[in-house]
Amino acid sequence: MQVPKAFRSASIMRGGWARASLKATPPPVLTLLSMTSVQVGAALAKSLFHSIGPAGAVLLRVGLGAFILLILWRPKLSGYTWREYRWALLFGGVLAAMNFTFYQSLDRIPLAVAVTIEFVGPLSVALLGSRRLIDLLWVALAGSGIVLLAPTGLFGGIALDPLGVGLALLAGVFWGVYILLSAQVGRSFSGVAGLALAMVVAAVALLPVGVLGAGADLLNGRVLLLGAALALLSSVLPYSLELEALRRLSARVFGVLMSLEPGIAALAGLLLLHEQLGLRAVVAIALVIAASLGATQIRKQGEASKD
């Protein structure tokens, strides 16, 4: 069915307005909005696990996210080199792996704990290649926070599923790679074309596990409606915001700007999922946040001294 010309024109005007708004918003604000959206979406996803499981939820998130992104932004997907398309393919594979491992961990451990452990990815990117002695302090603080969450019996341990912790760590590795690739894709493609391609690739990769995990329940009307909200909150909005932010920020600075992510996750888990955290987990989260904030401050001072 052909889309009426008036509707196409209105869509282009809305898309142009949205792009202009993104470009006018400071990158730190874009990053904060992205983190909030992701954590609200994660809480919504966890509430869907009893119906379609984590595999079904991640398929709806990425698959519907790709569809909405293509309809909303109508990106131009042709005219790029094979090298640029390979970046999008690689980015899509990482997106699929990152989301799948994170949702599997989220099915086993609390939201705030999963995000805190996963946060080793962006924090590692922030400190990558650092030659400053003070950065060892931030590494130690973050490492102490992760040790406090480790279900190994060390220093008394904490009642967490070991597999959930391991999956969160693996998701953190993919998150770090995602940050590096996102910057490259943002430079290689105009608008959200690279992201749209990557989302389609990720959706195709997740299709078999999603169908096997959820089956016909994926076609339930209520589930599809919640899945669309999940896709908007967890994929379309945050990824679009992050890509725009990364066009104006280095991957390292972006990594340290995300220092409040575990705190936002804790708040979302408390308010939306009623997940209570013990003192040990709260201290661990605080240590990771302190490490990232410290790294941010030192990095800003280092960049200012170069100007």
Cβ-based neighbours of 98, under 8 Å, separated by 6 or more: 171, 174, 175, 177, 178
Token pair in block for residue 290: 């302190």
Q: Is residue 230 in some structural domain? A: yes
Closest among 170, 145, 164, 172 to 258, alpha carbons compared: 172
- Round to whole Å and give the CA distance between 51 and 190: 38
- Round to whole Å and give the CA distance between 129 and 298: 14
Q: Is residue 60 in some structural domain? A: yes
Q: Is residue 6 in some structural domain? A: no
Q: What is the widest separation between alpha-carbon atoms in the chain?
A: 66
User: Does the pLDDT value for residue 254 go beyond 60?
Assistant: yes
The pLDDT tens digits for 267-294 are 999 999 999 888 888 898 998 888 877 7
Q: Is residue 16 in some structural domain? A: no
User: Does the pLDDT value for residue 44 go beyond 50?
Assistant: yes
Q: Is residue 1 in some structural domain? A: no
Q: What pLDDT, on a 0 to 100 scale, did the predictor assign at position 293?
A: 76
Closest among 52, 45, 65 to 114, alpha carbons compared: 45
- Round to whole Å and give the CA distance between 256 and 123: 6
Residue 247's SS3 state is: helix
Q: Is residue 8 in some structural domain? A: no
Cβ atoms of residues 91 and 185 within 8 Å: yes
Enter the DSSP assignment of 236. Answer: I
Q: Which residue has the tokens 């939306």?
A: 272
Q: What pLDDT, on a 0 to 100 scale, did the predictor assign at position 16?
A: 59
Q: What pLDDT, on a 0 to 100 scale, did the predictor assign at position 306?
A: 43
261 or 295: which leads in pLDDT: 261
Token pair in block for residue 234: 């967890």
Q: How many CB atoms lie within 10 A of CB 223?
A: 19
Q: What pLDDT, on a 0 to 100 scale, did the predictor assign at position 6?
A: 37
Cβ-based neighbours of 262, under 8 Å, separated by 6 or more: 112, 115, 116, 119, 285, 288, 289
Residue length of the chain: 307
Q: Which amino acid is at 16?
A: G
Q: 200-217 burial string, b = 16+ CB within 10 Å, else e?
A: bbbbebbeebbeebbeee
User: Does the pLDDT value for residue 152 go beyond 60?
Assistant: no
Q: How far is CA 211 from the centre of its chain?
A: 23
Q: Is residue 11 in some structural domain? A: no
The pLDDT tens digits for 94-148 are 999 999 999 999 999 999 999 989 988 877 877 776 667 777 788 888 888 887 8
Q: Give the range of the structural domain holding residue 135, as residue numbers without chain letter.
A: 27-306
The pLDDT tens digits for 52-79 are 999 999 999 999 999 988 887 788 878 8
| Summary mean pLDDT of the chain | 82
Number of domains in the chain: 1
Q: DSSP readout, 147-169?
A: HHH-TT-GGG-----HHHHHHHH
Cβ atoms of residues 160 and 113 within 8 Å: yes
Q: Is residue 22 in some structural domain? A: no
